[in-house]
């Protein structure tokens, strides 16, 4: 067991990074770029050591480590370096002439302050470093608290962080539940936690005392639904793979699967086939369960199930191996569905897709739902009748891999988002600044006492015929506003193009050209985000 950070060491680290943030050092774009590049070299130079540490903690195959740890971290560094200046730049709000342009209104992107990042044990390095990348890009000072359950990875990160990163602004501390509780007694400006919903309740109870904004990246009982129309071989292969990967110890993994009764037996046969294919090289290639406590929890659930084990079920407490296990004849009241499994056990429930989504809604909202179907109407109905962090169709986990899309949960599976700009935003305060010219005060002087009733028309708001009294829901025209906006945009584009051509041919400059082109680009962005 490693020695945890002492109270005195923690206080020194806490005061140091607080002082550094107040100095303004981390707000510098140059500092942010420098640290992001240092994170890159930290990963690049220590790949062999990280493979070794993760093998010690989880018996994970080197290929899996490169795929799920190094690739995502390195891509994040490159993406954040590429967009840092763009994301950090001030924005001009679309607020009209007086409250927008004349008032000098602009939105500053400021770091929230000192962030605490608490990492998990299942991907102990990448799920600690990825939030760090986002926090550094935003200009925060950071305290990292990796999981003590992945001790080899924790100890390696202690060395790497100390060697590569600015110790005035980024520190790493260690500890168990007691030490984490002591850490959370201190005020941070942001807390980012990845882990279980059980621990998240403890985290949020502590951060609520300081009204600290908190991002929670949790999990939930993520289901798969295999419809009658599904490609059964594809569904079986993908679901078997996600239960094999990291021994199912993934917040995005398939917790249980609903299979249409008409294709149930075929699906089970294909599932068994793919598990055998994945295990051809032997169990030594498969990740182990993190520790004896979690092994006992999973073994206990298997022992108590009222379902039928049709594949696997074998385990070894000494080596912490549990073979991929398929259990059929499972109902929603089975002990296997009492909590998130987080292991290589797959309960199979025989039901059609409507009963499936009704059952899903009796549990907490998951981080992901996986739909295997060739029928668009079925897919749309399932999505419309459920809530989850994301949805992947005819694949698994892929919604979490879209680099520019938000990744996060809802309800039981978490709150807040990261990945790409959404990670930058998670650690950023958007601060509105207004600096109106002197004449604007005179222009708006009628708002101040003594009031003149003659000016009341200036503060009244009318809809100018945009809608009428007595309209019903059936009267509403959905989509009309968007099409009108696009039509206007096309007109502006045509005008801007003509003016630009005239500029080029005559050498004269029309002031409207750049303005209209700017409006056009802004409008295109709005359409893309809507």
Active-site annotation, residues: 217, 251
Task: Supply 301's token pair.
Answer: 């659930």
The residues, any chain, with a CB within 8 Å of residue 267's CB and separated by 6 or more, are 226, 232, 235, 236, 259, 348
Name the percent of the chain in helix, strand, coil, to the closest 5. Answer: 50, 15, 35
Q: Is 367 helix (H, G, I), strand (E, B) or coil?
A: coil
List phi, psi (to 5°) of 389: -60, -40
Give the Å distances, CA to CA, from 284 to 187, 280, 467, 472: 44, 10, 68, 65
Q: Is 113 helix (H, G, I), strand (E, B) or coil?
A: coil
**What is the C-alpha to C-alpha distance for residues 347 and 326, in angstroms, rounded to an integer?**
6
**What is the C-alpha to C-alpha distance for residues 131 and 142, in angstroms, rounded to an integer?**
10
The residues, any chain, with a CB within 8 Å of residue 128's CB and separated by 6 or more, are 117, 119, 120, 144, 146, 147, 157, 194
Please report the sign of the dihedral spanned by the C-alpha atoms of residue 85, residue 87, residue 88, residue 89. positive
List phi, psi (to 5°) of 31: -60, -45
The residues, any chain, with a CB within 8 Å of residue 91's CB and separated by 6 or more, are 106, 107, 109
**What is the C-alpha to C-alpha distance for residues 448 and 454, in angstroms, rounded to an integer?**
13
Q: Any idea how long the chain is? A: 530
**What is the C-alpha to C-alpha distance for residues 286 and 481, in angstroms, rounded to an integer?**
54
**What is the C-alpha to C-alpha distance for residues 475 and 495, in angstroms, rounded to an integer?**
34
| Contact in structure between 170 and 163 (CB atoms under 8 Å) | no
- Angle of CA points 342, 343, 344, to nearest 5°: 145
Nearest residue to 528 via CA among 491, 489, 498, 492:
489
Decide the pairing of beta strands 308-311 and 325-328: antiparallel
The residues, any chain, with a CB within 8 Å of residue 329's CB and separated by 6 or more, are 306, 307, 308, 350
| Contact in structure between 361 and 385 (CB atoms under 8 Å) | yes
């Amino acid at each position: 067991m490693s020695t945890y950070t002492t109270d005195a060491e923690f206080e020194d680290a806490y005061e140091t990074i607080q002082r550094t943030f107040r100095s303004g050092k981390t707000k510098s774009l140059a500092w942010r770029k420098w640290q992001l590049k240092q994170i890159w070299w930290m990963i690049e130079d220590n790949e062999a050591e990280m493979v070794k540490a993760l093998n010690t903690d989880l018996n994970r195959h080197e290929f899996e480590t490169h795929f799920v740890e190094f690739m995502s971290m390195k891509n994040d560094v490159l993406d954040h370096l590429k967009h840092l200046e763009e994301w950090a730049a001030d924005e001009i709000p679309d607020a009209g002439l007086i409250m927008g342009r004349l008032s000098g209104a602009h939105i500053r992107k400021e770091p929230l302050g000192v962030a605490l990042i608490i990492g998990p044990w299942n991907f102990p390095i990448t799920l600690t470093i990825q939030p760090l990348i986002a926090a550094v890009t935003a200009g925060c000072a950071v305290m990292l608290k990796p999981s003590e359950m992945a001790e080899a990875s924790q100890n390696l990160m202690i060395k790497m962080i100390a060697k590569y990163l600015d110790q005035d602004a980024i520190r790493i501390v260690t500890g168990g539940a007691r030490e984490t509780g002591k850490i959370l007694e201190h005020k941070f400006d942001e807390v980012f936690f990845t882990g279980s919903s059980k621990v998240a309740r403890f985290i949020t109870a502590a951060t609520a005392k300081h009204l600290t904004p908190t991002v929670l990246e949790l999990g939930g009982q993520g289901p798969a639904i295999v419809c009658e129309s599904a490609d059964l071989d594809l569904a079986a292969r993908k679901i078997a793979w996600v239960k094999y990967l990291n021994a199912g110890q993934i917040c995005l993994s398939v917790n249980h699967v609903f299979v249409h009764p008409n294709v149930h037996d075929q699906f089970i046969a294909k599932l068994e086939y793919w598990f055998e294919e994945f295990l051809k090289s032997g169990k030594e290639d498969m990740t182990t369960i993190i520790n004896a406590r979690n092994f006992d929890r999973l073994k206990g659930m298997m022992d108590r199930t009222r379902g039928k084990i049709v594949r696997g079920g074998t385990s070894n407490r000494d080596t912490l191996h549990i073979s991929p296990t398929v259990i059929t004849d499972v109902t929603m009241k089975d002990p296997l569905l009492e909590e998130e499994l987080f292991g290589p056990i797959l309960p199979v429930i025989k039901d059609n897709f409507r009963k499936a989504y009704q059952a899903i809604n009796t549990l907490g909202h998951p981080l992901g739902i996986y739909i295997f179907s060739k029928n668009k109407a079925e897919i749309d109905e399932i999505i419309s009748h459920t809530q989850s962090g994301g949805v992947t169709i005819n694949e698994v986990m892929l919604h979490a891999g879209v680099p520019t899309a938000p990744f996060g949960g809802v309800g039981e599976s978490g709150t807040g988002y990261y990945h790409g700009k959404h990670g930058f935003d998670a650690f950023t305060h958007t601060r509105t600044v207004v600096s109106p010219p002197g004449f604007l005060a005179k222009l708006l002087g009628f708002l101040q006492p003594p009031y003149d009733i003659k000016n009341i028309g200036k503060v009244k708001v009318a809809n100018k015929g945009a809608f009428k009294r007595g309209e019903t829901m059936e009267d509403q025209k959905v989509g009309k506003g968007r099409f009108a906006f696009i039509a206007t945009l096309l007109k502006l584009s045509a005008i801007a193009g003509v003016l630009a051509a005239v500029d080029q041919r005559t050498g004269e400059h029309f002031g409207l050209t750049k303005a209209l082109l700017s409006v056009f680009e802004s409008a295109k962005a709005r359409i893309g985000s809507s």
